[in-house]
Amino acid sequence: MTRKLSKRWIYAVGLVIVFASDFILRDVLLPEHARDIHIATAVLIEWLILLVLLTFWIPKIEGNRFASIGFGKFKWRYLWVGLLTYLVLLVVWIGSYFALNALGLEGLRSLQPMIREYSFLTRLILFFTGTFLEEIFYRGYAIERLTSITEKKWLAGLISWAAFTFVHLKFFGLGPTLDVGVLSAGLVILYFKERSIWPCIVVHGINGAYGFLIGAFFDVAIKSWYGKVPNSDWRLFVGNLCLFRT
């Protein structure tokens, strides 16, 4: 009983480190109009925290293997499971698009002009951070440790969903953050179903690839064809289907 209690305290400390550091870096220290250098600095610190988590905290302090955070053997089926999940999310985002418009809010697509202002290197860094670091922090580590502490999967999933969703609020704004909530819910459900971080990485990777790498080039192509990037109509609707997160 004592050992189990001490494990819970260790897990709790690990969660505080992950959640608090990410919140402070993104919602407290990061300026409202962050430049490339600001984002690069914050991301560098995030990756250093991840490095400590993987090389010291989990194996040395917790005494666990990487499998304890969903890093099991990669299976090729995770590719199509991730792709199928993303297609399901696209259907949900159709409803989200109309719901947000009815409330006078814009979704993640509205952030594309801001994303295009950053250098390709910054966008590439954000892509890898979202695809890998965030999945380790908010799915693999958070869900597994919260499940161990609370012994309630639904509560672990809810806390993971809320933490990931609302850490984006300051930088993204309300409408895009609600769209992130859709992605977050899908990733939580997928993780519980597969109990592996790999299919979540696939989903987040597809999502991030459009938002940070493909989306900007897509807008440039549209502008070259039509002379401008439409602010509404079918172009905006299609853009909202190809949502992104960092």
Residue 61 maps to a domain: yes
**41: pLDDT strictly greater than 60:** yes
Tallying the residues shown for the chain, one arrives at 246
**Which residue is listed with tokens 């999945």?**
135
Residue 214 identity (one-letter amino acid): I
Q: Is residue 207 predicted with pLDDT exceeding 80?
A: yes
Confidence of residue 221 (pLDDT cuts 50, 70, 90): low
**pLDDT tier at 213 (50, 70, 90 boundaries)?**
confident
- Tell me, yes or no, whether 84 lies in a domain: yes
Could you tell me how many helices (H) and strands (E) the chain has, helices first?
Answer: 13, 0
**Residue 5 DSSP SS3:** helix
Answer whether residue 140 shows pLDDT above 80. yes
Considering the domain boundaries, does residue 246 fall inside one?
no
Phi/psi of residue 213, nearest 5 degrees:
-115, -45
149: how many CB neighbours lie within 10 A of its CB? 17
For residue 241, what pLDDT is reported?
47
Instruction: List, for residues 56-106, the tens digit of each pLDDT value.
Output: 999 999 999 999 999 999 999 999 999 999 999 999 998 998 999 899 998
What lies within 8 Å, CB to CB, of 70 at 6+ separation is: 139, 140, 143, 144, 191, 195, 196, 197, 198, 200
Q: What is the pTM of this model?
A: 0.87
pLDDT for residue 232 is more than 50 = no
Which two structure tokens, joined as six digits, stand for 125? Answer: 């860094």
What's residue 159's pLDDT? Answer: 98
At residue 193, the pLDDT reads 96
Of 28-37, 104-113, 153-162, 167-176, minimum mean pLDDT range: 104-113
Residue with tokens 């990487």: 66
Spell out the long-range contacts of 14-18 with Cβ–Cβ below 8 A and sequence spacing 24 or more: 14/53, 14/57, 14/58, 14/61, 14/62, 14/141, 14/145, 15/141, 15/142, 15/145, 15/146, 15/149, 17/49, 17/53, 17/57, 18/49, 18/53, 18/137, 18/141, 18/142
Q: Which residues lie below 8 Å from residue 81, measured CB to CB, with a gap of 6+?
A: 190, 194, 199, 202
Rounded mean pLDDT, 42-60 = 97
The answer to whether 234 and 97 have CB atoms below 8 angstroms apart is: no
| Alpha-carbon span 232 to 44, nearest angstrom | 36
Angle between helix axes 174-194 and 77-102 (nearest 10 degrees) is 150
Task: Kindly state the tokens that stand for 5.
Answer: 């209690």
Domain presence at residue 156: yes
pLDDT for 107:
86
Instruction: Please provide the average confidence, as pLDDT, over all residues in the chain.
Output: 87
Structure tokens at 176: 């895009």
Most confident of the following: 195-199, 229-233, 241-245? 195-199
Number of domains present in the structure of the chain: 1
Q: Answer for the pair 246, 168: CB distance below 8 angstroms, yes or no.
A: yes
Is the residue at 198 inside a domain? yes
| Residue 97 included in any domain | yes
State the residue range of the domain holding 100.
2-241
- pLDDT band for position 223 (50/70/90)? low
Domain membership of residue 192 (yes or no) is yes
**Mean of the pLDDT values across residues 132-136?**
97
Q: What pLDDT was estimated at residue 246?
A: 41
